[in-house]
Structure 1
Amino acid sequence: MSQQQPPARPTRRSPSPAHRPPRALAAAGALLVLPLVAACGGGDQGAGGGKAAPSVTAAPAAGVVAPAKVEVIAGLTGCKAKIRIDADELRQGLCHTKEADYVITTFPEEKFKETWLEEARVYGGKYLVGTRWVVSVKPALLESFRAKLGGTIIQLRGIGPEPGKR
């Protein structure tokens, strides 16, 4: 009696670097840029356990919260954003004004924003966070941006020693 061999299953290969999905490359690029943005975050570190804790929750003077669109948020802050990343999980634009350079990141779903914030926690810093968007700007401008855009100012603790402490 002969034994039959089971049919061979096709194997799944991971794509070569040249064939990786653009969204994976964009996400990796966003994580590479994050330390540069966080460097503008200032040294006012909270004593929280690393979780994002709201420090300001009031609504903006206009009574609206900016939608999750880079170009709209940029317009509300007085700049025309240069899109750096346009991927499935996020869009990111760079704004340059006489007051500051800052990054606007928007997400198609809230879960992508939460993942981004969890990854950003490693770098620490303060961010203005809204529904499906994050603005990374120097801390001195956060309150004025919040008045224009709405959202919540959060402090991410980061890892390692706090600046100025050993």
Structure 2
Amino acid sequence: MGRVRGGVIVGCLAVAPLLVTGCGAGADDADKVTKSAKVSAAPSAGVVAPAKVEVIAGLTGCKAKIRIDADELRQGVCHTEKADYLITTFPEEELKQTWLDSASVYGGSYLVGTRWVLSAKPELLGSFREKLGGTIQELQGIGPDPGS
């Protein structure tokens, strides 16, 4: 019986540093995500929209038709009188950033929130920002400047 208790105690002591390290790493990772996320609530929005295509679409006044439903992202298209636009959501911030890095090849303006991106005509992004929050990001693109 004494050997069993001793084994349990040794096992617990061996695992304890891993648990403490794991908790510490999670807190640091949360700080990194908070610091790296460039999300600000719009003045009238008050809160940033959740990362779900259907909810974001509803907040913008449309019912999205899902085009992509994959592990890495979900994308829905909205058709309205003013314009067509895309709402893309991601299960993780890192996947959103990878998508934005890839989209930077094409350039353009995007409304970016926590785990979501809205792609629309630049003149519409401001009104969507009032409803959803987030930030408007300009991606440079590659190739010659069309204004040249």
TM-score range for the pair, normalised by the shorter chain length: 0.7 to 0.9
Measured in 2, the distance between the counterparts of 1:68 and 1:60 equals 19
Select which of 51, 54, 59 maps to 1:68. 51
- CA-CA distance at 1:59 after TM superposition: 2.4
Q: Which residue of 1 aligns with 2:17?
A: none
Matches within 5 A, 1:12-161: 57=40, 59-161=42-144
Measured in 2, the distance between the counterparts of 1:57 and 1:105 equals 18
Name structure 2 gaps, 5 residues minimum. Answer: 1-37
- CA-CA distance at 1:60 after TM superposition: 3.8
Q: TM-score w.r.t. structure 2 length?
A: 0.72
Give the match's secondary structure for 1:105: strand
Give the match's secondary structure for 1:153: strand
Measured in 2, the distance between the counterparts of 1:128 and 1:157 equals 15
Measured in 2, the distance between the counterparts of 1:58 and 1:66 equals 9
Letter in 2 for 1:120: A
Structure showing greater radius of gyration is: 2
CA distance change for structure 1 residues 58 and 109 in 2, over 3 Å: closer, same or farther? closer
- Structure 1 segments (4+ residues) deviating >6 Å: none
Give the match's secondary structure for 1:128: strand
Q: Is the 8 A contact 1:77 1:145 kept in 2?
A: yes
Q: Which residue of 2 aligns with 1:164?
A: 147
| Greater fraction helix | 2
Q: TM-score w.r.t. structure 1 length?
A: 0.64
- CA-CA distance at 1:133 after TM superposition: 0.1
Letter in 2 for 1:162: D
Q: Is the 8 A contact 1:57 1:152 kept in 2?
A: yes
Q: Relative contact order (alpha carbons < 8 A, sep ≥ 6): 1 or 2 greater?
A: 1
Aligned Cα root-mean-square deviation (Å): 1.4
